[in-house]
Amino acid sequence: MVETVIRKRIEILVDTPLIPHIIDLLKKVDMSGWSVIHVDSGGGRDGEWSDDDFTGASAKSIILVIASEEKTNNLVDLIAPILDSHRLLLTVANVAVVRGHKF
Amino acid sequence: MVETVIRKRIEILVDTPLIPHIIDLLKKVDMSGWSVIHVDSGGGRDGEWSDDDFTGASAKSIILVIASEEKTNNLVDLIAPILDSHRLLLTVANVAVVRGHKF
Amino acid sequence: MVETVIRKRIEILVDTPLIPHIIDLLKKVDMSGWSVIHVDSGGGRDGEWSDDDFTGASAKSIILVIASEEKTNNLVDLIAPILDSHRLLLTVANVAVVRGHKF
Amino acid sequence: MIIDTLTSPVILFFLLGFFAAFAKSDLSIPEAFGKAMSIYLMVAIGLKGGVEVMNAGFSIDLLNAALAGLSLSFLLPVPAFFALIYFGKLKPVDAGAVAAHYGSVSVVTFVTAKELLTNQGLEPAGYMVAVLAIMETPAIISGLLLIRFGNKGKSTEKSNNNIKKLLHEVFTNASVILLIGAFIIGMVAGKSGFEPIKPLFEVGFKGVLCLFLLDMGLVAGRRLVQSNKLSLRLVMIGICLPIFNGTFGAIIGLGIGLDAGSAIALSILGASASYIAVPAAMRLAAPEADPGIYLTMSLGVTFPFNIIIGISLYTYIVQILG
Amino acid sequence: MIIDTLTSPVILFFLLGFFAAFAKSDLSIPEAFGKAMSIYLMVAIGLKGGVEVMNAGFSIDLLNAALAGLSLSFLLPVPAFFALIYFGKLKPVDAGAVAAHYGSVSVVTFVTAKELLTNQGLEPAGYMVAVLAIMETPAIISGLLLIRFGNKGKSTEKSNNNIKKLLHEVFTNASVILLIGAFIIGMVAGKSGFEPIKPLFEVGFKGVLCLFLLDMGLVAGRRLVQSNKLSLRLVMIGICLPIFNGTFGAIIGLGIGLDAGSAIALSILGASASYIAVPAAMRLAAPEADPGIYLTMSLGVTFPFNIIIGISLYTYIVQILG
Amino acid sequence: MIIDTLTSPVILFFLLGFFAAFAKSDLSIPEAFGKAMSIYLMVAIGLKGGVEVMNAGFSIDLLNAALAGLSLSFLLPVPAFFALIYFGKLKPVDAGAVAAHYGSVSVVTFVTAKELLTNQGLEPAGYMVAVLAIMETPAIISGLLLIRFGNKGKSTEKSNNNIKKLLHEVFTNASVILLIGAFIIGMVAGKSGFEPIKPLFEVGFKGVLCLFLLDMGLVAGRRLVQSNKLSLRLVMIGICLPIFNGTFGAIIGLGIGLDAGSAIALSILGASASYIAVPAAMRLAAPEADPGIYLTMSLGVTFPFNIIIGISLYTYIVQILG
Ligand SMILES: Nc1ncnc2c1ncn2[C@@H]1O[C@H](COP(=O)(O)O)[C@@H](O)[C@H]1O
Ligand SMILES: Nc1ncnc2c1ncn2[C@@H]1O[C@H](COP(=O)(O)O)[C@@H](O)[C@H]1O
Ligand SMILES: Nc1ncnc2c1ncn2[C@@H]1O[C@H](COP(=O)(O)O)[C@@H](O)[C@H]1O
Ligand code: NA
Ligand code: NA
Ligand code: NA
């Protein structure tokens, strides 16, 4: 059987226009890989929204990052202060990956 | 280091037209935040499908909810009876979040 | 309370044109259900990309599969050798599901 | 007329899509493009209908046709329901959902028929667009009542607030809003107000219809290829029901004194089955019904039948009866 | 003119969208379709503006109008900012973000006004398209400076490399690139080079504008329905600010000697508020500002006001003053 | 002719996209809109080609050109492969994948050339559209055979069922289906059947081409900006290979007796490199090949070269040789 190791799966829910800003933070903690998933609609304290809005300003995305625990901790420390002001949602879970040295 | 707490990450795979119905259930168990992700295609016991279908009736989405364990249990109890009739897929995982009082 | 069991949540990040190939592998290990999620953009060792590229050749997707541990192990063994050559990213996590016999 | 039909680019593009689906080509029309074309087509026919009615003035025919359409949409699901249960062997919930599709209408079948009929000097009256809009959603109510009737005794919870939701759906469904809205705008704007926007909605119309039918062909073909829900009995119903409904529509149309073109249009509206408004509503209002059945029958069987054979057949029937 | 406005299909489609949103219809325009129409509209008006300027030749008016537009975009946010703080009770960061929207412009308001004015023989000069492009982004800088001024003492980190990013945004913003790029292409191609592509960009223009305004109506209506951020004071500002800015624009336009049509256009540019370029820039440059406030004011209040009443009002003001 | 080329709106829009990419503008064309335009363009040229062939009648030239195209698509990858290995220093799998792109064709290069040539009275014959379709996919087979040849001894598993998949891909590839399908529909419909749908497919054509080239410019520019895979040697091959292939195509075209316009078209088909059909097929059939190499060479180097310089160059070559 192929060996797997545990890494962190980080999900950051973010307003689409803010993505470049978060990517900059990822790079600061030396994370070099990420993927962006489109969010179609949602609801929260601010009411409901949906992406059929050509302004683009209210669109949301999820930035998905697989990373080592160490880098993840650094990222969480970096992002925590702006979670509220930037309306972010950040979750971290454990995942098994093959060949963990890449992350 | 920023402190994190454990919350539940719920994923509900659902036919897109049924989303309002599921949102109603979320509200019943007092969940106030959710995000909807588009599913492009898939396969299951009913064969394969893909979303390039302008009828919209066969489109699927994932409703993603971060919530406390208690609310999650309530939701699972509420949804379990209709899982089959409504062709839903429900998974629950643990995630760490910063400032868990929001969920 | 409804009873839940633990299953595996597999995510395979894959170039969209390669999806049929991965689906074939899923079927080889007897997995009959999967969902495909569109990835909008991302970055990795090969630089950044985004899907606003009508060629389609550089688009990426995530194949999401809920499966039993046994089938998951078989899949990991099957996919591990081509992870690098096919530029895949494979993660496995635990999730709780209701009525696990389906997976 | 069948030959004319089969060499018309509109139909040929449908066949091309159908062929691509059967050949398992990787051809696909982006969802957003398909939806955009569908919106365009509805706005265009709504506008043109409104302008024509404004030009022709209101008439008693309009009222008659509207009432006939409303009744057809409400009533056609009833025989369909029993055929689906007793001959098609469907469960009540599936039978009711399918029946609702056949009471409602297909915008593209109507539009394609209008094009083909106009080529033969049989253009339907402008107000038939309003009838089309009127027939979109009442069948949803019939279908749900039939399901409740078929399931009597079982699960009657959640019925009250559902009725409110349902009426809301019937009046604010996207297709209804677009068709009726554009129809009214066409009436308000009149011929002169329509002039500046006519180029987009008239010049491009038939070309867009071709591309949309390419998409329909793909989707209908894929439904047929991938389906494992379709018994021979259901295929037979998918062909006989439109013939029955079409004949019924023709008789009503002629009975209330419509001109030939409009009677054919009413026949076609009766014969056609919904594939947008009703599936979405059914998925929400009757989630236990299997979309694999109703979408495959409506899109995979009845739509191609109507496009390729039905339109000519109903024209023929009206001409025989008329 | 208000009557003309209200029976024009363009406006009626906006109202249809508005109505659908309030009726909570499930009608929606796919995002990709909305963006495609927006790109088309910007390219089309850019091209036509460029061709017209090439035909008319450069003039001192062009330069004057460009300078006036630049100044307006920079300066209009200032009074807006103080009104939003003292009367609107907003935090500085929100006030600055909203103010930036009102300094910038709305492409669709401009285009709709151009259509309505042309119908009355008051067509603005071709170079007003360049003024439109020039006014898109400077207000972003003003807005951010105002925020910094309002927050003085607090958080001034990250300011240096932000200024570089900001200037980049101001010059390479998608709307600016499309408008200026198409304008230059129109100038290079001239009337004869434009001829072969004219059908797409001229024949379809008004129809696309109708469909886009349907989308705008939906989005604006949903903003209003879903918003819980809008105080009565903010609604008042959302109506008074465009009147103030429009009057100011009219005075400047007449002051620098523009013809009536162009002065009305400048007035409308002053009065209109951005809903694409500025929101995206603000979300990135001032993430703490609440998009629920600036989008709802710009799209939900000011845009409908300008489309339905404002355009006629500014025309009237210029005619009174002129 | 280069001057004509550079002031044509079509090319200017390409340059605008290129510029926006280099300026790192946030301008982007929604994927669905790009795909919709691509489908429209293929259907439009297919239809027009079919109608023209039906009008002109079949000729021996058609057959000759088809055979020539087929051979070119099969054979051009061979010299390309060796150049890529020995001069470009690529691994066999990458060399084969790139070679397949250069054997296949670029629809947009062909269409742009057709527009520019028609302006000079050098319009290619209608049947060249069929040649275009024929050349789309055979090169995929050559490329994969070359990879197998280059890797001989290594990994030959999974070859059998792959051949079936490959032939399926060659015949049912989306571009092939659209081009051939629309071509046949054009032939069946003929001039009179084409008339009603002509407005969409002819009136809008050049405008859509402009917007699509704007998109191509963006994508090509971004490829160049983001790429770190491109050695100077590969850039040189990306420029010399189309010149070589174009000259070869010109010689063959003149050799089999085509008229000047058609010979130029064959030359351009030879010179152009695929960016839709082949990349998608290669990603699946040779997943180990690096898309960063083949897409960047085809889209980032050869496409702009052909559009800006190549078309004029091949015209010149044919006129010299002819
Ligand atoms: N650590 C990561 N987490 C999430 N996505 C990743 C990660 N690394 C790579 N990716 C995705 O995989 C793509 C290819 O990565 P690479 O092969 O490293 O260039 C990237 O563009 C991302 O979309
Ligand atoms: N608990 C949650 N789970 C998933 N998504 C959420 C949750 N809370 C908020 N969101 C998403 O974040 C957006 C903004 O939330 P809020 O800041 O609470 O208005 C919502 O519209 C949702 O898309
Ligand atoms: N095990 C699974 N993992 C992920 N997605 C699934 C799974 N099973 C089913 N699905 C999704 O649910 C849809 C319906 O499944 P089914 O009801 O089995 O036909 C499929 O088309 C997939 O998109
Ligand atoms: Na019907
Ligand atoms: Na303004
Ligand atoms: Na070639």
Coil, strand or helix at E67: helix
pLDDT bin (cut points 50, 70, 90) of residue F156 is very low
Mean pLDDT (whole number) for F113-117: 93
pLDDT bin (cut points 50, 70, 90) of residue F5 is confident
Whether the pTM exceeds 0.90: the reply is yes
pLDDT at A58 over 80: no
Distance D129 CA to ligand 4 centre (A): 14
Q: CA D292 to CA B45: how far, in whole Å?
A: 12
**Radius of gyration (Cα) for chain A, nearest Å?**
15
Ligand in nearest proximity to the CA of E102: 5
* Block residue for tokens 């006519």: D198
pLDDT bin (cut points 50, 70, 90) of residue F158 is low
Q: What is the pLDDT of residue F157?
A: 47
Angle of the F107-119 helix axis to the F128-135 helix axis, nearest 10: 160
Q: Do C94 and B93 touch (CB under 8 A)?
A: yes
Mean pLDDT of chain D: 92
Helix (H) or strand (E) holding E10: helix E9-22
Contact E107, E176 (CB under 8 A): no
* Alpha carbon distance, N-terminus to C-terminus of chain F: 18
Q: Do D26 and F196 touch (CB under 8 A)?
A: no
Q: What is the pLDDT of residue D156?
A: 47
How much of chain F exceeds pLDDT 90, in percent? Answer: 79
Which of F44-58, F87-101, F276-290 is most confident? F87-101
Alpha-carbon distances, residue B29 vs B23, B67, B75, B86, B97 (angstroms) = 10, 10, 6, 19, 20
pLDDT digits (tens, 9 = 90+) for D140-183: 999 999 999 998 756 544 555 577 888 888 889 999 999 999 99
What are chain B's domains? 5-98 (3.30.70.120)
Distance E52 CA to ligand 5 centre (A): 24
Q: Do A55 and E280 touch (CB under 8 A)?
A: yes
For an interface test with E, which of F24, F26, F222 has the most E Cβ atoms less than 10 Å from its Cβ? F26
Q: CA E320 to CA E306: how far, in whole Å?
A: 19
Distance E317 CA to ligand 5 centre (A): 17
Alpha-carbon distances, residue D52 vs B87, C33, D176, D194 (angstroms) = 46, 52, 19, 11
Distance D198 CA to ligand 4 centre (A): 30
Report the Cα D268 to chain-centroid distance in Å: 8
| Atom 8 of ligand 2, nearest CA residue | B33
| DSSP secondary structure code for residue F201 in this structure | I
| DSSP secondary structure code for residue E256 in this structure | T
Q: CA D58 to CA D65: how far, in whole Å?
A: 12
What totals of helices (H) and strands (E) does chain E contain, helices first?
19, 0
Q: Do E31 and A54 touch (CB under 8 A)?
A: yes
Phi-psi group of F57: left, alpha or beta (phi > 0 → left; psi -120 to 50 → alpha; rest → beta)? left
Q: Which chains touch B (3 or more CB pairs under 8 A)?
A: A, C, D
Ligand in nearest proximity to the CA of C103: 3
Coil, strand or helix at D315: helix
Query: Exposed, middle or buried by CB within 10 Å (0-12, 13-18, 19+), for F79?
Result: middle
Closest-CA distance, A6 to chain C, in angstroms, reads 9
Distance E166 CA to ligand 5 centre (A): 19
How much of chain D exceeds pLDDT 70, in percent? Answer: 97
Ligand 3 pocket list (CB less than 6 A): B 13, 42-46, 49, 60, 87, 89; C 33-35, 64-67, 103
Mean pLDDT of chain F: 92
For an interface test with D, which of B40, B48, B53 has the most D Cβ atoms less than 10 Å from its Cβ? B53
What are chain E's domains? 29-149+159-321 (1.20.1530.20)
Q: Which chains touch E (3 or more CB pairs under 8 A)?
A: A, D, F
Q: How many CB atoms lie within 10 A of CB F309?
A: 16
Coil, strand or helix at D204: coil
Q: Which residues of A touch B23 (CB under 8 A)?
A: 43
Q: What is the pLDDT of residue B45?
A: 82
Write out the E strands in E69-181.
none
pLDDT bin (cut points 50, 70, 90) of residue D85 is very high
Q: Which chains touch F (3 or more CB pairs under 8 A)?
A: C, D, E
Query: Exposed, middle or buried by CB within 10 Å (0-12, 13-18, 19+), for F143?
Result: buried
Q: Do A54 and E219 touch (CB under 8 A)?
A: yes
pLDDT along chain C (103 residues), means of 10: 91 93 95 95 84 76 97 96 91 92 80
Protein residues within 5 Å, CB atom, of ion ligand 4: D 272
Q: Which of B103, B89, B76, B102 is nearest to B45 (CA)?
A: B89
| CB C87 near ligand 1, within 6 Å | yes
Residues 6+ apart with CB under 8 A from F31: C51, C52, C53, C54, C59, D30, E32
| CB A23 near ligand 1, within 6 Å | no
Closest-CA distance, D36 to chain F, in angstroms, reads 10
Mean pLDDT (whole number) for F111-119: 93
Coil, strand or helix at C87: coil
Q: What are phi and psi of C97, to 5 degrees?
A: -130, 155
Q: Where are the alpha helices (DSSP H) in chain D?
A: 2-6, 9-22, 31-56, 60-75, 77-82, 92-103, 107-119, 128-135, 138-150, 159-172, 174-194, 198, 205-226, 232-255, 260-271, 277-285, 291-295, 303-305, 311-321
Q: What is the pLDDT of residue C2?
A: 84
Ligand in nearest proximity to the CA of C83: 1
| CB A68 near ligand 1, within 6 Å | no
> Which residue from C48, C56, C85 is facing F280, i.e. has the nearest CB?
C56
Q: What is the pLDDT of residue F1?
A: 60
Coil, strand or helix at A93: strand
pLDDT at A23 over 60: yes
pLDDT per residue of chain E (322 residues) written in tens, 0 to 9: 567 777 889 999 999 999 999 999 989 999 899 999 999 999 999 999 999 999 988 889 999 999 999 999 999 999 999 999 999 999 999 999 999 999 999 999 999 999 999 988 999 999 999 999 999 999 999 999 999 999 875 654 455 557 788 888 888 999 999 999 999 999 999 999 999 999 999 989 999 999 999 999 999 999 898 888 889 999 999 999 999 999 999 999 999 999 999 999 999 999 999 998 899 889 888 889 998 899 999 999 999 999 999 999 999 999 999 8
Ligand in nearest proximity to the CA of C10: 3
| DSSP secondary structure code for residue E308 in this structure | I
Q: CA D9 to CA F190: how far, in whole Å?
A: 10
Q: CA F46 to CA F186: how far, in whole Å?
A: 7
Q: What is the pLDDT of residue E157?
A: 47
Q: CA A39 to CA A50: how far, in whole Å?
A: 9
pLDDT digits (tens, 9 = 90+) for F183-236: 999 999 999 999 999 999 998 999 999 999 999 999 999 989 888 888 999 999
Q: What is the pLDDT of residue E322?
A: 80
pLDDT at A47 over 90: no
Q: Where are the alpha helices (DSSP H) in chain F?
A: 2-7, 9-22, 31-56, 60-75, 77-82, 92-103, 107-119, 128-135, 138-150, 159-172, 174-194, 198, 205-226, 232-255, 260-271, 277-285, 291-295, 303-305, 311-321
> Which residue from D12, D20, D33 is facing F189, i.e. has the nearest CB?
D12
* Cβ of residue A80 closer than 8 Å to a chain B Cβ: yes
Mean pLDDT (whole number) for D289-294: 91
The angle subtended at Cα A54 by Cα A52 and Cα A56, nearest 5°, is 95
Q: Which residues of E touch F206 (CB under 8 A)?
A: 196-197, 199-200
Q: What is the pLDDT of residue F134?
A: 94
Q: What is the pLDDT of residue E156?
A: 47
Q: Do C38 and A37 touch (CB under 8 A)?
A: yes
* Cβ of residue A96 closer than 8 Å to a chain B Cβ: no
Q: Which residues of A touch C92 (CB under 8 A)?
A: 4, 95-97
* Cβ of residue E28 closer than 8 Å to a chain A Cβ: yes
pLDDT digits (tens, 9 = 90+) for F47-67: 999 999 999 888 899 999 999
pLDDT at F40 over 80: yes
Q: Which residues of C touch F280 (CB under 8 A)?
A: 17, 55-57
* Cβ of residue D38 closer than 8 Å to a chain B Cβ: yes
pLDDT digits (tens, 9 = 90+) for E41-100: 999 999 999 999 999 888 899 999 999 999 999 999 999 999 999 999 999 999 999 999
Q: Do C55 and F35 touch (CB under 8 A)?
A: no
Handedness of CA F110, F114, F120, F126 (dihedral sign): positive
Mean pLDDT (whole number) for B8-20: 94
* Block residue for tokens 């680019």: D9
Chains E and A make contact, 3+ CB pairs within 8 Å: yes
Q: What is the ipTM of this complex?
A: 0.94
Handedness of CA C16, C17, C22, C23 (dihedral sign): positive
How much of chain F exceeds pLDDT 70, in percent? Answer: 97
pLDDT at D201 over 90: yes
| CB A94 near ligand 1, within 6 Å | no
Which of D275-289, E1-15, F69-83, F275-289 is most confident? F69-83
Closest-CA distance, F184 to chain D, in angstroms, reads 9
Q: Do B80 and C98 touch (CB under 8 A)?
A: yes
Q: CA D99 to CA A87: how far, in whole Å?
A: 47
